[in-house]
Amino acid sequence: MTLARLRVLFIPDSVHWVTGTIAKNIARFNPWIEATVASGPVIDQVFKERPELMNNFDLVHFTCPYASKQWVPRFHDLVPCVTSHHHVTDWPLLSHNLDGDAIVVGSPEWSEDLRSRGADMAKVFCVPYGVDANLFVPATEAKRHALREKLSLAKEATVIGFFGKNSSNDDDRKGIDVFSKAILELKQKLSNLTVLIVGPGWQALKNSLTTAGVNCVWIPFVQELTDLSTMYQVLDFYWVTARVEGGPVTLLEAMSTGVCCLTTPVGLARKIVTDGENGLVLPFNDAQAFVDRTLELAQDNALRTRLGRQARSTILEEMHVGVTSLGVKEVYERALENFASRRQTSVPVDVSAIAKSFATARGPQSSGDDVVPLAGFPSSLHSRVSMLETLAWSEHLVLYHRQRALAARMILREWFRNPFSLLPLRVLLRRFLPVSFVARLVRIKNRAQVSPRLVTTHPPTNKA
């Protein structure tokens, strides 16, 4: 007999970013999970309107370590809560994740970090993020040349990539100072150098490199992973100059695509990159090392190709998401046990039995990462939830990345799809009209709401 699936609510920072991809991949490759993936801003709205929907889940998994601050206390007595510890730049902002019934880290580095902070290590599990090796694949030479032409990249250029979002670069943890210094030095020695930057918020970096004479192509936003995968296929090198990372997932994606990677010993790089075999591991804060080794490899196509080929082999053997994502089974079992222990009840769900009943299911549940499962919400809400996700992400692009034109297009698209909803209009007005004008509209609205109540506070005069 096949048991009912485990109903899991995944909460990323956005379904359009890395923590959303992690959530969707777990759902895709674990057929025993009935998944709902909704970001923090979206559940704020949905559960405010429909609080009874919080009872539709057996477990909540926060793939974003920030939304858990507000929502773990609210779910604490309802269901087990799994939290995430990706990396640390400001511990007070993340310490609440120790309250999870189980805690997921992406690499051994962050397990040891939690140990040093006094975490209960019996509930800490390392589940590497993984990468979809069927999506991030090397390109044929013909496709590579076609993609370069589409992006206005010269066929003979040496292209170095850096992908990420600026809002994640707190305290310059991604080492942009090292990246810039190395690129400027390399430009003096490699005349055909081109830099490809993908991700929002890098206008200043792009401007500084261009001003210094570096050919720099910047693509602020790539929404679908299928499009993002082609960005790696035009690269000769991928650089990770970071000082602090949970993954980085971009390193996994580049390796899976067969790109020659140079990285600091950060996050998962310590575990999966062996210097000189499947990539190069360089010291922190050493721009010159990136310059020297890139020059060496630019002149040795055979070595560069071999490193890229071995990088992909490593991903296929160790880091394909179809394998890494299976690690959540043990995590969820422990979370349910700890939940039952603190509630002094029996374990509410037998994860092993559920997983076993679906053991014959093969492959991913959906055809691609663009599918956002919403099983725990009524179908009547699905289009609204999708709209809320887009609006939340568009506001993020305006507030933190200065991508106003892109955000405006996304908001208008949602308005066209949902012509009877006022939410797209409200977001458009809130983010694109002058602040003083919006404040005036709010005051008018508030007065309109208050006036009727003021009238009814005075009872009618008794003239009898």
Minimum mean pLDDT among 15-19, 103-107, 133-137, 438-442: which range?
A: 438-442
Same domain (yes/no): 309, 341:
no
Same domain (yes/no): 330, 190:
no
Domain-embedded: residue 263:
yes
In this predicted structure, the answer to whether residue 306 has a pLDDT above a threshold of 60 is: yes
Same domain (yes/no): 152, 300:
yes
In this predicted structure, the answer to whether residue 440 has a pLDDT above a threshold of 80 is: no
Give tens-digit pLDDT for 184-221: 999 999 989 999 999 988 999 999 999 999 999 999 88
Domain-embedded: residue 461:
no
Provide the pLDDT for residue 167: 83
Mean per-residue pLDDT, 287-294: 98
C-beta separation of 9 from 17 below 8 A: no
Give tens-digit pLDDT for 373-423: 999 999 999 999 999 999 999 998 888 877 788 889 999 999 999 999 999
Domain-embedded: residue 382:
no
Mean per-residue pLDDT, 149-168: 93
Mean per-residue pLDDT, 235-263: 96
Give tens-digit pLDDT for 51-94: 999 999 999 999 999 999 999 999 999 999 999 999 988 999 99
Same domain (yes/no): 300, 369:
no
Same domain (yes/no): 329, 399:
no
Query: Domain range for residue 208?
Result: 141-319
Give tens-digit pLDDT for 1-36: 668 999 999 999 999 888 999 999 999 999 999 999
Domain-embedded: residue 72:
yes
Average pLDDT taken over every residue of the chain: 90
Task: Count the domains in the chain.
Answer: 3
Mean per-residue pLDDT, 293-322: 96
Give tens-digit pLDDT for 101-132: 999 999 999 999 999 999 999 999 999 989 99
In this predicted structure, the answer to whether residue 458 has a pLDDT above a threshold of 50 is: no
pTM of structure: 0.86
pLDDT level of residue 454 (50, 70, 90 thresholds): very low
In this predicted structure, the answer to whether residue 368 has a pLDDT above a threshold of 70 is: no
Q: Measure the CA–CA gap between 107 and 252, rounded to whole angstroms.
A: 13
Provide the pLDDT for residue 214: 96
Domain-embedded: residue 82:
yes
Provide the pLDDT for residue 97: 97
In this predicted structure, the answer to whether residue 366 has a pLDDT above a threshold of 70 is: no
CB-CB neighbours of 301 under 10 Å: 11
Q: What is the CATH number of the domain that holds 42?
A: 3.40.50
Provide the pLDDT for residue 27: 94
In this predicted structure, the answer to whether residue 459 has a pLDDT above a threshold of 50 is: no
Query: ω before 424 within 30° of 0 (cis)?
Result: no
pLDDT level of residue 338 (50, 70, 90 thresholds): very high
Minimum mean pLDDT among 66-80, 161-175, 326-340: which range?
A: 161-175
In this predicted structure, the answer to whether residue 340 has a pLDDT above a threshold of 60 is: yes
Q: Measure the CA–CA gap between 407 and 432, rounded to whole angstroms.
A: 10
Domain-embedded: residue 288:
yes
Domain-embedded: residue 228:
yes
